[in-house]
Copies of this chain bind each other. A is one copy, B any other.
Amino acid sequence: MSDTRQLHLGAFMRPVSLHTGAWRYPGAYADANFNFAHIKSFAQKLEAAKFDAFFMADHLAVLNMPVEALRRSHTVTSFEPFTLLSALASVTERIGLVATASTTFDQPYHVARRFASLDHISGGRAGWNIVTTANPDAALNFGLDDMVDHDERYVRAREFFDVVTGLWDSFADDAFIRDVDSGIFFDPEKMHVLDHKGPELKVRGPLNIARPPQGRPVIVQAGQSEPGRQLAAETAEVVFCSPRDLAGGKALYADIKGRLEAVGRKRNDLKILPAAFIVIGDTVEEARQKRLKLDSLVHYDSAIASLSIALGHDASGFDPDAPLPPIPETNASKTGRSQVLKLAEEEGLTVRQLAQRYGGYAGLAFVGTADTIAEEMAVWLNEEGSDGFNVVFPYLPDGLDDVVDKLVPELQRRGLFRTEYEGTTLRDHLGLSRPENKFFR
């Protein structure tokens, strides 16, 4: 089975579930987000299922929420990505380890070192999710009064990428001779001093770490804005995105893949993996009931606030147990409102259920049996909606076990997913080539 005809699967693991009711689901580990033993067991199960990667999002602040939502949120505290992924590197052997690092609030020398080090420790399994950090609260933790402008963040991100990738190429792959007899440890002629002087950054180099096993850790990008898509086309090898449905997925896929040629890259040099929330039952109806049960664990006060935002209209006075009443139309929120109305109609949800859906997880979801979900995923792959998915688990461990024990075998049976890792590095799993060194060919 050739690479292009199979799915790539990542696991979105920070927080371990994005669903705000996850920690309350029957059988869930309430502390899963912050318990190393649990997270280790998740990583080992995902590896046994041959997942491409374990993906850590990140936040550089406690998220700013109303206190009623905050006190109910299991996402408030969590491990820092490099410490967690490095700890997982020594208790796993094949699964990729994707860490988020901010180009706005970190230094390229630090970022280059940590990813190079993780790539060495893990034998070539590191990936860098480049983010520019949009949360204004993060700025306050780094000495600023206001967040840096969006466009300025992307200008710095582009230069930051050049510096980090330049630092990774500080040494030729064969620079380290370690000739005991002559006493020559390495060849200084195979060491490159970057000496970068740009508008945003000045970094001399060289990096004090040998070239990473993958040449470069895999570059991941999640931005969907215009500069985000362009940065992805120029630099990313994996795009993590959030289309709401297949039509949205296909549009985004065509747009980003279309930009590649203009920058001299091939379509296959970049994989597009939308976030997918997966709830599996023995029947489709059982899966739907599981989801309704999970949604019901979202507190109504914070849920109704989320619905109000989605509608662009205060929903707090609506009868929670009745269908959504007619709402006067405004320009501000056409898309959001039409999505809510569509959802209310399709699933016949009450105001409470709609609110809890928006307060829980309202993105792209596959809810059904292993068979129906595998079928849907095949459609996404065949119709160029995606190259795979970044799986969001509804609750842990059961929601993860269902994917690993039921969905993955069904995908494998259909030839849509690998049954063994064919290589050892994250690049191998994703079918990405190892970049040449910029300075030594």
Centre residue among A23, A62, A207 by max chain B CB count within 10 A: A62
The reply on A268 being an interface residue by CB < 8 A is no
A121: contacting residue among B79, B114, B186, B205, CB under 8 A: B79
Could you write out 26 A-B pairs with CB less than 8 Å apart?
Answer: A23-B180, A30-B178, A31-B176, A31-B178, A34-B210, A36-B120, A40-B90, A62-B208, A76-B185, A76-B208, A77-B171, A77-B176, A77-B209, A80-B209, A82-B83, A82-B86, A83-B86, A83-B121, A87-B87, A87-B89, A87-B90, A91-B91, A109-B141, A141-B205, A144-B202, A183-B297
A72 B183 Cβ-Cβ under 8 A: yes
A171 shortest CB reach to chain B, Å: 7
For window 96-147 of chain A, which residues contact chain B by CB distance below 8 Å?
Answer: 105-107, 109-110, 113-114, 116-118, 120-121, 137, 140-144
The reply on A203 being an interface residue by CB < 8 A is yes
Q: Across the interface, which residues of B come within 8 angstroms of A73, CB to CB? A: 185
B210 A121 Cβ-Cβ under 8 A: no
A107: contacting residue among B24, B105, B203, B208, CB under 8 A: B105
A180 B78 Cβ-Cβ under 8 A: no
Inter-chain CA distance A110–B110, complex, in Å, is 11
A90: contacting residue among B30, B34, B36, B120, CB under 8 A: B36
The reply on A326 being an interface residue by CB < 8 A is no
B109 A60 Cβ-Cβ under 8 A: yes
Inter-chain CA distance A74–B208, complex, in Å, is 11
A117 shortest CB reach to chain B, Å: 4
A106 B110 Cβ-Cβ under 8 A: yes
Q: Across the interface, which residues of B come within 8 angstroms of A142, CB to CB? A: 107, 109, 203
Inter-chain CA distance A186–B142, complex, in Å, is 25
The reply on A434 being an interface residue by CB < 8 A is no
A71 shortest CB reach to chain B, Å: 5
Q: Across the interface, which residues of B come within 8 angstroms of A105, CB to CB? A: 107, 110
A70 B188 Cβ-Cβ under 8 A: yes
A280 shortest CB reach to chain B, Å: 23
B82 A84 Cβ-Cβ under 8 A: no
A210 B77 Cβ-Cβ under 8 A: yes
A207 shortest CB reach to chain B, Å: 8
The reply on A204 being an interface residue by CB < 8 A is yes
A185: contacting residue among B71, B88, B178, CB under 8 A: B71
A350 shortest CB reach to chain B, Å: 20
A184: contacting residue among B60, B71, B89, B205, CB under 8 A: B71
Q: Across the interface, which residues of B come within 8 angstroms of A204, CB to CB? A: 61, 137, 140-141
Q: Across the interface, which residues of B come within 8 angstroms of A208, CB to CB? A: 59-62, 76-78
Inter-chain CA distance A34–B208, complex, in Å, is 11
The reply on A299 being an interface residue by CB < 8 A is yes
The reply on A262 being an interface residue by CB < 8 A is no
Inter-chain CA distance A209–B171, complex, in Å, is 36
A114: contacting residue among B30, B67, B80, B90, CB under 8 A: B80
Inter-chain CA distance A68–B124, complex, in Å, is 31
A83: contacting residue among B74, B107, B117, B143, CB under 8 A: B117
B86 A180 Cβ-Cβ under 8 A: no
Centre residue among A74, A80, A178 by max chain B CB count within 10 A: A80
The reply on A314 being an interface residue by CB < 8 A is no
The reply on A436 being an interface residue by CB < 8 A is no
A84 B178 Cβ-Cβ under 8 A: no
B206 A79 Cβ-Cβ under 8 A: no
Q: Across the interface, which residues of B come within 8 angstroms of A187, CB to CB? A: 71
Inter-chain CA distance A63–B114, complex, in Å, is 18
Inter-chain CA distance A140–B204, complex, in Å, is 6
Q: Name the residue on B nearest A88 (C-beta).
A: B90
Q: Across the interface, which residues of B come within 8 angstroms of A343, CB to CB? A: none
The reply on A155 being an interface residue by CB < 8 A is no
A336 shortest CB reach to chain B, Å: 26
A84 B84 Cβ-Cβ under 8 A: no
The reply on A251 being an interface residue by CB < 8 A is no
Q: Across the interface, which residues of B come within 8 angstroms of A207, CB to CB? A: 62
